A and B are shown apart, each in its own frame.
Chain A
């Protein structure tokens, strides 16, 4: 089971802009 911290980090990263 992934930790809440890992899930949160993935959530943040998923929303960050990708290559311009």
Chain B
């Protein structure tokens, strides 16, 4: 099998798809107080898998909105205003759909690829691990 180094340097997605990689990246982000970006990214994936007709799904959509989007959290700061207002409208109308966080997730993912992921690959925590 490939070494962690080979797997994790391929792409952010290959890092996040690996249990140890995701865990180490999480520890790295905790130091920077940016762990919410990672939790939000996973929450979007989890939300997409939920049954849209289950009442729990609306509650989860609201929880994601409250926790990461409506305030001035590290996630909200990295999202476009139009993306945030789109999600706010969907929540207000209670007309949720499985793809409602896709655009927001894409924006957060791009942001992680451009900065946190690059910084992770040169961080002490990563270098010590490999």
Contacts and interface: CB of A to CB of B under 8 A. Distances in A.
Contacts of A18: 19
B45 to A, nearest CB: 4
A10 B44 CA distance: 12
Q: Majority SS of interface residues in chain B?
A: helix
A19 B106 CA distance: 25
Interface residues of B, number: 24
Contacts of B42: 12, 15-16
Instruction: Please report whether the interface of chain A is mostly helix, strand, loop or mixed according to DSSP.
Output: helix
Given A8-B43, A17-B22, 20 more contacts: A4-B59, A4-B62, A4-B63, A7-B60, A8-B60, A8-B63, A10-B46, A11-B50, A11-B63, A11-B64, A14-B46, A15-B44, A15-B45, A15-B46, A16-B19, A17-B17, A17-B21, A18-B19, A19-B19, A20-B20
